[in-house]
Chains A and B, each alone.
Chain A
Amino acid sequence: MASNLFIVVVGCGRLGSHLANRLSRAGHGVVVIDRDEQAFRNLSAEYSGFRVEGDATELAVLKQAKVDQADLVIATTRDDNVNLMVTQVARAAFSVSRVLARVFEPTRKPIYRRLGIESICPTSVAAELFLESMAATRSLEDSA
């Protein structure tokens, strides 16, 4: 990853705050958006980025967060549809070159792909890792 990017993270829950902390520590400029001010408590003490309290589905909030300057927008809210909308707006209205969205529902992935939005599906990822782990265990037992 290039150094010193400007990254906007939408949603300051467990995933969003974790990403924000790590990215900020890596030296990138980070802005976190969340509707709920309490969510910013998830950020570490060393977090050196900005916080914007507001609804990311509103253009004004995205403008305030300077999404137009972002190299990367990551949508991590709990709602797939919000994540889809935010990343779409970031690309279409603000010409952000790279957008990433968390998608819980695996069946939605093709839709996101068609819209040119990179998505990470925790459900699919966890399933793969579980299955790999089971296969590894089984082969260990077989060779025992």
Chain B
Amino acid sequence: MEASCGKEPVLIVDDEKNIRLTLTQALEAMELDTDTAVNGEEALAKLADKPFGLILLDLRMPGMDGMEVLRRVRQTRPDIKVIIITAYGSIESAVEAMKLGAVDFIQKPFAPKEIRGLVTKVLNRDTLQAAKAKGYGTHIELAKKCIQQQQFEAAQEHTRQAIAADATRPEAFNLLGVLLEMSGNKLEAQKNYRAALALDPTYKPADENLSRTTGLTAGGGISLGR
């Protein structure tokens, strides 16, 4: 497993002690500097003090909930990377969270390997901007990064460039669907999810997004794919 490029400190925000413990243990194995906060207020106070590069944030907390924390964080630190922690089947606010630039989700329960893989991927996203050769994969990652930084036009542009690079792969269509869903156009979004599945019927993220938007499955997150 490649090491994180930026070893920026990570803030773990969750009211549940077992989650804070599990995440701290998992990330310390990656030699990352971690800190924890038990609620929104403590999180915002710590964020003001230290240049965290990534927040792991539980959406459902008593007092100031995750969405409110995210909103306030985006005001002072629009660049900070966010991974949202959700309970099983409770991702109604996924779209809301995405509008605030949170593109990555992890659902409880998760294996240590899962969270480590996701954190590595998110922390490494910056290095892609330095990539000279703009291949399909790079455009997809840049599109996700733009969504994260709320640059939706740029995200759409990268998605279009990805399709131009390779129109036979499902990822870009899935992302287009996501962007459309976020702008409120569910029907058009579903067309793109179906297009992704037509290209690759085994592409799970589009399947999950389609099932979720057609109400076939209760709950579920917005899948951006790997």
Contacts and interface: CB of A to CB of B under 8 A. Distances in A.
A123 interface: no
A8 to B, nearest CB: 9
Contacts of B112: 4, 6, 29
B18 A52 contact: no
B18 A66 contact: no
A49 interface: yes
B72 interface: no
Nearest to A53: B88
A50 interface: yes
B108 interface: yes
Interface in A58-89: 64-66, 69-70
B25 A66 contact: no
B137 interface: no
Contacts of A29: 22, 26, 111-112
A64 B218 CA distance: 13
Interface string B109-121: 1111110000000
Nearest to A64: B88
B8 to A, nearest CB: 23
B17 interface: yes
Contacts of B22: 29, 48-50
A6 B108 contact: no
Contacts of A70: 111
Contact of B109 (A27, A47, A50): A50
B21 interface: yes
Nearest to B114: A69
B133 interface: no
Contacts of A49: 18, 22, 109
B34 to A, nearest CB: 14
A69 B25 contact: no
Interface in B111-144: 111-114
Contacts of A99: none
Contacts of A101: none
Contact of A69 (B21, B29, B108, B111): B111
Q: Which of A6, A47, A50, A70 has the most CB of B within 10 A?
A: A50
B111 to A, nearest CB: 4
B109 A4 contact: no
Contacts of A69: 111, 113-114
A52 B88 CA distance: 9
A10 interface: no
Interface in B9-44: 17-18, 21-22, 25-26, 29
7 contacts: A4-B112, A6-B112, A29-B22, A50-B18, A50-B108, A52-B109, A65-B109
